[in-house]
Structures are given as C-alpha cells and as structure tokens.
C-alpha cells in the first residue's frame, strides 16, 4: 500500500446498538475510495443483514463483506460461522446485481464452524417450542452451531442440559470449513451431527448430498489456515466488519435476548494480534431492535415516523421496533468495547429526535447500568428520562468524547460522508 | 429449512459453486469428447452391462418409496433437449416432495441411444432420493449420434426396466412405478438379441417384439413417452401414431422442453389423484414460469384426470401374445 497518511490504518466497525445500526453502509463508505484491501468478518454468520445501497443497487449482505459492491474481497475469519447454501444464494444475488463471479472475492478460514441444515432445523424446532418466551432468534441455526461445537469439548451426553438446552443425541466433533475438502472426515462429522440431531430435526437432510455439496463449496471458495488476518493486515488496509451489535453480545447483552457471539471488538483485536486499529462505533440517531428483548426507550409512534425500507418483520425474528436514542445503553456499549476511537452516525435525516440521558429508578436517577445486578431485569424496570436532541452529532461527540467520522443521511452511498480521514 | 426445499436449495448451491469453479455441468460428456470415439463408454456407475438389478427399496427414512425412472434420448436428433433436461431434472425431486404428490419419490435417470450405431446406447443410474441425482445427471454421456433412421433403442431401455429393476413399491404394496421415456423417434422394429447380450449381458438368443416388452413393462409401471419440441420429429404424425398405439394417452407432446420436470410432476400428481389438472396448473405456476405451466397444461389437456384414472390398466398393446422374452 502507499504510505499516505490515512490509508494504512485498520478500522474495526462495530455496532453500538442491538444491530441494524448501519454497519454495512459504513463499511461500504470506507471501502468506496479503493483504499481497503480486505473486509474481514469477525463474528456471527448468515444471520447478518447489512444493507448497502450503491448507485441504485441494493444488497443485504449476510456472509459477504459489505465492501463487495466496492470490489473489496472478504475474509471470513475463524470466528465466523459459514453456511455454504446461503453463501451460494448470496453469490447468485450479487451476480444478478452485476458483481462478476462473486465467489472469487471470498476466502474462508479452515477453522470456521459450518452451519448446516441440521442446525437450522434444530434452531427452529427449539424456538417454536418456546412459544411466547421466544428469544428473538433469526432461525438460521447460529446459536445452535456454537452450542453444538461446545458439546464434544464438554463431553456432553444425550439428555444432558448444556447452557440451558437438552442434548438430543450423542454429539461428535463440529464440522468446519476445512473439513469440506476432506471427504472422509466431513462424512464422519456430518453423520455424527445428523445422528445427534435426529430426535429434534428429523431426517430431512441427506448427509451424502451434503458431503457432495460441501465438496463443491471447497472447490469454489478459497480456504486458508494459520494467521491469514495477520498476513493481510501487514500487506494492506483492513476493515474488520462486526455483525449484530454490542447490546446483543453474549457477555455484555441482555440475556436471554443475546446472540452466541462476541459482538464487541474482542475477536477483531485477537485477529489483529496487537496491530493498531481504530474502533469505529456505529449508532443510529435513535434506538432500534428486531424481535424480543428489552428496549427501554421504545416508542410505538417511532416506527411510523422513521420508515424503514430494508427492515421489516423478520420471518423468524418477529417485529421491527424503535425507540429514542438511549445514552445509558450507549455508555454501556462503549464501555463494553473498551472504548471507541470514533463514531459513525446514521439516519441523520430523521427529524425531531429525542434522547434518554438517564433512567429513573426506585433509588433515584442513574446514568449508567449498575454492576452486579440482573441487567435484563434492571432495564425492564426503569423509566427513561427523555429530552429533545436537536443536534445529534454534537451531542454524541460531547457525550462519547470522540469525533463523528462518518455520517449517513439516507440509505444510499451518496448519502454517506467520511468526515475526517479514518486513520490510525 | 423445510424438508422439500432443502433439495432445491442445495441443488442450486452446488450449481453455483461448480459454475464458480468453471466445472462444466456435463463434465463427463466433456471428458469423453476429448478422447477417441472407440474409447467412449458409459461411466461405470451408469453402465447396464452385467447389472443384476437396479433396486428401489424402502428404508427407515423412506418407508413408502415410489420409483420414478426417467430415461431420455441422448442422440443428435434431440438437439439441445438433453442438456435442457439435464439442467432441469435435478429439480424434479424437490417439486414432487414440496407439492406432496409423493411421500418418498426415488429417482433414477438414464440415457438412451441407438444400439445399431452408438458406442453407448443405454445408460441407467441408481434410484436416489437426494442430491446424488444431480451427480448422476451430470455423469450421463450425451453421445449425440444416433443412426438417422428415425428409430432409437427405446425398447432396449424398456427391456432393462422390465427385467432389471426391483422395487419394494411393487413387491410389498403392488404399486406401480413411473417410467418416463423422453425422445422423438420410433422404437426399433425388433429388439435384437445381440444388442441385449452386448449392452446388458443377458444371454438372449432370440429377437423380441418391442410391443411385448411394453406389455410386460406395463404390469409394474406407468409408462409415458414424452415428445418435446425442438427435437427433429415433433410434428411427424408417424411418431405420434406409433407411440399412441403402444401407450394410448400416455403419449405426451410437450411444447417447451424446459418444462419436462414440471410435466412429470403434474403427470404423477394426476395419476396419484392428489390433484386435478386445474390444481396441478396452480401448483406449477407457483414454482415455475407461467410459460412452463402453460406448456404442461397443453401436453396434459388431452389426457385429463378421467383418462388417466382409466389408464391404470395397461393400454391396449398389440403384438402377438406368444412372443416371450427368453
């Protein structure tokens, strides 16, 4: 890469809300000037839904990095869950948008876990069985993939309860992307997976068919091992794209409405191995959430005021919800990240905004989530103190103490501005 | 992921990955074509020589298996139709399952050529109920020759299905399987013993009347012949007359060869009396293009549910009764 200032710094893009902050558009905005050599996905899997609108083309990125329309290759790191059937469908969508041979842009790490139709089926059976106590799952087998991978390591037995879920059958080792190129290993692992899930997911999927399919996947997508992120980081500029948001983090979110993933910059930092990178926290000018879980500033009037072109009721997740910007949750998210170096603010075209600066509680107003309490119960029992928010950019810069480096005033790439060089 | 949908999604994914790799969808044909003609042969998995029986058996997963054999003409007169069908037939299983026409369809694909002039006049795969079907289709050798005498060795294929296919549907439940022959020419006037010996390996010393082969076949199979447009002889009345004599209303003309998979699904839906023609058209419109369902509708309109119900008995087959398959 060139030595020009502002071109070589790596950037970690992380959502400070419950997802849907606008990470995709921000990644695209960072990539469009050609300075980025790879987008690295560092968590989540096929449930990600990052919308990018560029020159009239719209795509909801799921496994491909959001720099794809800018021509930037994607690396699916070892922390990502890879679902080949959905990946192929996404490649076809991108090809239809004019991206030539999209799969050539994808590299996957051999250690990444595979999400299979067995995981998807089991996920849906379990969420259906929860009835009114749904977790707000996307129904794409993400949590199930992580959960299954724990079983063999914990020597779980059929009928055991692991992390609150019953082990349906005898578990085996979890299949990975690297296994796809090794037919015998893959076959053995998928057989074990199918047997384990049979009581829950039935027999709808053929292991033999899956082996052939995953073999074709391994032929078409470049698979790497070792420290690929380090190699790429030393050769060019990376954007590390997070999925979901910090408020859904497995450690910092609100159980049980969390995702089985580190949504903070933690994985990105591990992958970078100590190399410097700026953390760019993304927030809307208001708070949103998809599906079940706490949303203290929720205002039923807001979804109608802020029409949403690319987010509707999720097939599996449930309703789209909106509330006012929540300073208490924002502070919690920034702290969970270990601080951020800059902010990206989207939906600046929204008018007449408000912000909750504190929560009223029985023991007086609080501006931060207290430690050592049940966070979910706490936010469920608080009353936000809401005031007008005339200038969200100025307010956020003052509140968080870092510059707003990217602004978005609409869905299209043309509505995004990179205000200051996002550099290390 | 619904059970039926898995097939279609996985099929589409495999195609996407192969296309990205640049693997030809007809890899076997491409590799054969680059070798001298005298070395052309069927892939071992599709070679009928010495095969005692292709089996369509029940299993724990598929307790009510129904065999569906689809054998299509791969000779030159069929034009690009085999390629179109090879691309489309992989969807058939998903279609049958999704629409609930059959609980446990098992599909076998094969290719038919000309035993007088072709190196590979007959190919037959295994019955499969998953995406191995896709691989089987890609392994069929599209030889593309044919003899130019307006006949192909359909009766050789019919003989194989009559004599070398064992199904639990018939053995356990007395239920017929489905055989779809797709082509555009006549049967050979005689099923020659030397061809049976060379291609299938049965020690037969006497030529056989094709009509008697179809008669035997009709005891255990619903037999259809589909004549798709784009083939040479679509409008030749002699072809229609020949097949109507053998199969009655089970001779189907199909305007759009791209609709073959939908036609097969609709035909089975009607025969199983799961749907009437109107409902079959609604189902097809949901999954395919309007043009395809229109083509299927035209192909089936003269058949109709009533005619199909009556055809559960073998259609009138002529030919001397005393011709036995030795």
Instruction: At A174, give phi and psi (nearest 5°).
Output: -75, 135
**Pairwise CA distance, residues B283 & B304, whole Å:** 16
Q: Is A249 a catalytic residue?
A: no
* Distance of alpha carbon A140 from alpha carbon A143, whole angstroms: 8
- Binary contact (B1, A213; C-beta < 8 A): no
Whether residues A231 and A323 fall in one domain: yes
Q: Can you give the residue range of the structural domain that contains A34?
A: 10-107+226-418
Tell me if A4 is assigned to some domain: no
Task: Chain B: give the shortest CA distance to residue A150, in Å.
Answer: 23
Lowest mean pLDDT among A316-320, A330-334, B72-76, B152-156: A316-320
Verify that A83 and A119 share a domain, yes or no. no
In a shared domain, residues A316 and A243:
yes
More confident residue, A320 or A267: A267
A134 with A100, same domain? no
How sure is the predictor about B320, in pLDDT bands with cuts at 50, 70 and 90?
Answer: very low
Question: How does residue A245 score in pLDDT terms, banded at 50, 70 and 90?
Answer: very high
Last residue of a domain, one of A161, A186, A221: A221
Out of B20, B21, B131, the one facing A213 most closely (by C-beta) is: B131
pLDDT at B245: 94
pLDDT in tens, A135-154: 666 778 888 999 999 999 99
Q: Is residue A2 part of a domain?
A: no
Query: What is the average pLDDT across A82-94?
Result: 96
Q: Do A270 and A406 belong to one domain?
A: yes
Q: Domain spanning B8-260 has what CATH number?
A: 3.40.50.410
Here the ipTM equals: 0.83
Mean pLDDT over each residue of chain B, to the nearest integer: 83
Question: At residue B3, does pLDDT exceed 50?
Answer: no
- Pairing label, strands B221-228, B177-182: parallel
Residue A152 sits in a domain whose CATH number is 1.10.300.10
Q: How long is chain B?
A: 326
* Nearest-by-Cβ selection for A216 from B2, B14, B132: B14
Q: How far apart are CA A310 and CA A143, in angstroms?
A: 24
- A35-44, A121-130, B294-303: which is most confident: A35-44
Q: Last residue of a domain, which of A173, A202, A221?
A: A221
Q: What's the confidence (pLDDT) of residue B302?
A: 61
Ranges of beta strands (E only) in A305-415 are 320-326, 342-346, 354-361, 364-366, 383-388, 404-408
Give the relative orientation of helices B3-21 and A207-220 as an angle to the nearest 10 degrees: 30
Number of domains making up chain A: 2
Q: What's the mean pLDDT when you consider all of chain A?
A: 90
* pTM score of the predicted model: 0.73
- Bridge partners, residue A322, by sequence: A288
Does B17 sit within 8 Å of A213, measured CB to CB?
A: yes
Higher-scoring residue by pLDDT: A422, A299:
A299
For B7, the closest chain A residue by CA position comes to A205
Regarding whether A332 and A388 lie in a shared domain, the answer is: yes
Q: Would you say residue B176 has pLDDT above 70?
A: yes
Round to whole Å and give the CA distance between A344 and A15: 9
B17 CB within 8 Å of a chain A CB: yes
**Catalytic residue among A10, A50, A59, A324, which?**
A50
Option in B9, B61, B132 nearest A212 (CB): B132
User: Which residues does A324 contact at the CB level (< 8 Å), separation at least 6?
Assistant: A286, A287, A297, A299, A302, A353, A354, A355, A356, A384, A386, A389
What per-residue confidence (pLDDT) applies to B8? 77
Q: A300: which residues sit within 8 A by CB, 6+ positions away?
A: none
Do A177 and A240 share a structural domain?
Answer: no
Per the domain annotation, does A5 fall within a domain? no
pLDDT digits (tens, 9 = 90+) for A333-355: 999 999 999 999 999 999 999 99
Which domain CATH number covers A81?
Answer: 3.40.440.10
pLDDT at residue A424 tops 50 = no
**Alpha-carbon distance A141 to nearest alpha carbon in chain B (angstroms):** 10
Q: Which residues pair with A343 in a beta bridge?
A: A281, A404
Strand (E) or helix (H) holding B264 = helix B260-271
Segment A258-279, tens digit of pLDDT: 888 899 999 999 999 999 999 9
Confidence of residue B19 (pLDDT cuts 50, 70, 90): confident
A160 is annotated as an active-site residue: no
Condensed to tens digits (0 to 9), the pLDDT of residues A189-231 reads 999 999 999 998 777 778 988 998 999 999 899 999 999 999 9
> Of A216, A217, A218, which to mutate for an interface test with B (greatest number of B Cβ within 10 Å)?
A216
Mean pLDDT (whole number) for A45-53: 90
Could you say which of A221, A255, A271 is where a domain stops?
A221
Between A and B, how many CB-CB pairs are < 8 A?
Answer: 80
Q: Are residues A42 and A178 in the same domain?
A: no
Q: Which residue is it, tokens 């229109």?
A: B294
B59 touches chain A (CB under 8 A): no
Contacts of A219 in chain B (CB under 8 A): 17-18, 21, 23
**Alpha-carbon torsion (A372, A376, A381, A383), positive or negative:** positive
Question: How far is CA B326 from each of CA A115, A116, A424, B92, B318, rounded to the nearest angstrom?
Answer: 55, 51, 86, 35, 19
Output B70 or B299, whichever has higher pLDDT: B70
Kindly determine whether residue A88 and residue B13, on different chains, have CB atoms separated by under 8 Å: yes
Those residues of chain A whose CB sits closer than 8 Å to some CB in chain B are 84-85, 87-89, 91-92, 101, 103-104, 117, 120-121, 202-206, 208-210, 212-213, 216-217, 219-221
Supply the angle between the helices B81-89 and B132-139 in degrees, to the nearest 10: 170
Q: Is residue A49 part of a domain?
A: yes
Q: Which residues of A touch B13 (CB under 8 A)?
A: 84-85, 87-89, 213, 216-217
Q: Which residue has the tokens 């802020």?
A: A306
d(CA A406, CA A404): 6
Residues above pLDDT 90, as percent of chain B: 45
The alpha-carbon gap from B188 to the nearest alpha carbon of chain A, in Å, equals 38
Q: Is A409 annotated as a binding residue?
A: yes
- B304 pLDDT higher than 60: no
Residue B126 CB burial class (10 angstroms; 0-12, 13-18, ≥19): middle
Q: Taking CB atoms and an 8 Å limit, are A212 and B17 in contact across chains?
A: no
Quick check: B18 contacting A, CB < 8 Å? yes
Rounded-to-integer distance, Cα B299 and Cα B241, Å: 16
What secondary structure does DSSP assign to B204-262, as a single string? --S-B-HHHHHHHHHHHEEEEEEEETTSTTTT-HHHHHHHHHHHGGGEEEES-GGGHHH
Question: For the residues of A187-244, what is the DSSP string, one character each?
Answer: HHHHHHHHHHHHHHHTT-S-HHHHHHHHHHHHHHSEEE-SSHHHHHHHHS-EEEE--S
For residues A134 and A63, state if they share a domain: no
């Amino acid at each position: 890469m060139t030595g020009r200032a502002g071109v070589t710094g790596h950037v970690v893009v992380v959502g400070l809300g419950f997802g849907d902050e606008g990470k995709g558009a921000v990644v695209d905005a960072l990539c469009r000037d050609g300075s980025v050599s790879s987008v690295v996905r560092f968590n989540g899997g096929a449930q990600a839904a990052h919308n990018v609108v560029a020159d009239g083309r719209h795509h909801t990125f799921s496994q491909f990095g959001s720099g794809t329309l800018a021509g930037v290759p994607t690396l699916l790191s070892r922390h990502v869950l890879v679902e080949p059937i959905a990946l192929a469908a996404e490649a076809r969508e991108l090809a239809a948008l004019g991206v030539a041979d999209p799969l050539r842009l994808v590299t996957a790490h051999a250690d990444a876990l595979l999400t299979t139709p067995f995981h998807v089926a089991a996920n849906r059976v379990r969420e259906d069985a929860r009835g009114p106590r749904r977790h707000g799952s996307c129904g794409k087998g993400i949590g199930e993939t992580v959960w299954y991978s724990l079983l063999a390591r914990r020597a779980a037995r059929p009928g055991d309860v692991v992390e609150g879920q019953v082990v349906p059958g005898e578990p085996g080792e979890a299949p990975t992307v690297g296994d796809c190129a090794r037919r015998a290993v893959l076959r053995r692992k998928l057989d074990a997976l199918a047997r384990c899930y049979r009581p829950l997911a039935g027999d709808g999927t053929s292991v033999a068919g899956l082996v052939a399919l995953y073999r074709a996947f391994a032929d078409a997508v470049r698979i790497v091992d070792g420290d690929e992120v380090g190699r790429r980081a030393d050769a060019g500029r990376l954007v590390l794209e997070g999925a979901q948001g910090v408020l859904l983090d497995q450690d910092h979110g609100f159980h049980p409405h969390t995702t089985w993933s580190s949504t903070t910059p933690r994985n990105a930092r591990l992958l970078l191995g100590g190399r410097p990178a700026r953390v760019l926290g993304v927030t809307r000018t208001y708070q949103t959430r998809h599906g079940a879980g706490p949303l203290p500033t929720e205002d039923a009037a807001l979804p109608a005021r802020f029409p949403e072109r690319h987010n509707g009721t999720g097939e599996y997740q449930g309703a789209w919800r909106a509330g006012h910007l929540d300073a208490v949750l924002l502070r919690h998210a920034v702290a969970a990240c270990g601080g951020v170096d800059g902010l990206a603010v989207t939906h600046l075209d929204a008018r007449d905004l408000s912000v909750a600066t504190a929560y009223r509680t029985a023991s007086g107003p609080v501006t931060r989530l207290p430690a050592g309490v049940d966070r979910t119960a706490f936010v469920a029992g608080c009353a936000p103190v809401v005031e007008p928010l005339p200038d969200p950019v100025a307010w956020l810069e003052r509140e968080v103490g870092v510059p707003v480096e990217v602004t978005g005033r609409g869905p299209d790439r043309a509505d995004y501005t990179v205000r200051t060089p996002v550099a290390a | 992921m619904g059970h039926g949908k898995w097939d279609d999604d996985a099929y589409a994914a495999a195609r996407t990955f192969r296309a990205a790799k640049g693997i030809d969808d007809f890899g076997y044909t491409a590799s054969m074509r680059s070798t001298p003609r005298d070395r052309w042969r069927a892939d071992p998995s599709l070679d009928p020589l010495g095969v005692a029986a292709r089996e369509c058996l029940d299993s724990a997963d598929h307790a009510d298996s129904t065999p569906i054999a689809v054998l299509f003409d791969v000779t030159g007169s069929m034009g690009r139709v085999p390629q179109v069908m090879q691309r489309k037939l992989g969807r058939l299983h998903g279609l049958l399952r999704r629409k609930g026409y059959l609980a446990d369809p098992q599909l076998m694909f094969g290719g038919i050529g000309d035993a007088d002039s072709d190196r590979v006049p007959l190919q037959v795969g295994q019955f499969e109920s998953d995406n191995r079907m896709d691989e089987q289709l890609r392994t069929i050798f599209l030889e593309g020759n044919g003899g130019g005498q307006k006949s192909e060795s359909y009766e050789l294929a019919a003989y194989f299905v009559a004599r070398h296919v064992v199904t639990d549907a018939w053995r356990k439940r007395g239920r017929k399987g489905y055989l779809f022959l797709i082509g555009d020419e006549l049967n050979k006037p005689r099923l020659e013993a030397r061809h049976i010996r060379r291609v299938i390996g049965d020690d037969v010393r006497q030529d056989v009347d094709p009509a008697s082969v179809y008669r035997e076949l009709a005891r255990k199979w619903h037999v259809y012949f589909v004549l798709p447009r784009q083939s040479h002889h679509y409008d030749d009345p002699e072809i229609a007359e020949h097949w109507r004599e053998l199969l009655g209303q089970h001779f189907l003309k199909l305007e759009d060869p791209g609709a073959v998979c939908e036609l097969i699904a609709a035909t089975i839906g009607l025969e199983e009396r799961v749907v009437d023609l109107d409902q079959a058209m609604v189902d097809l419109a949901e999954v395919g293009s309007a043009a395809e369902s229109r083509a299927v509708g035209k192909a089936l309109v003269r058949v109709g549910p009533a005619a199909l119900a009556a055809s559960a008995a073998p259609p009138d087959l002529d030919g001397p009764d005393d011709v036995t398959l030795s």
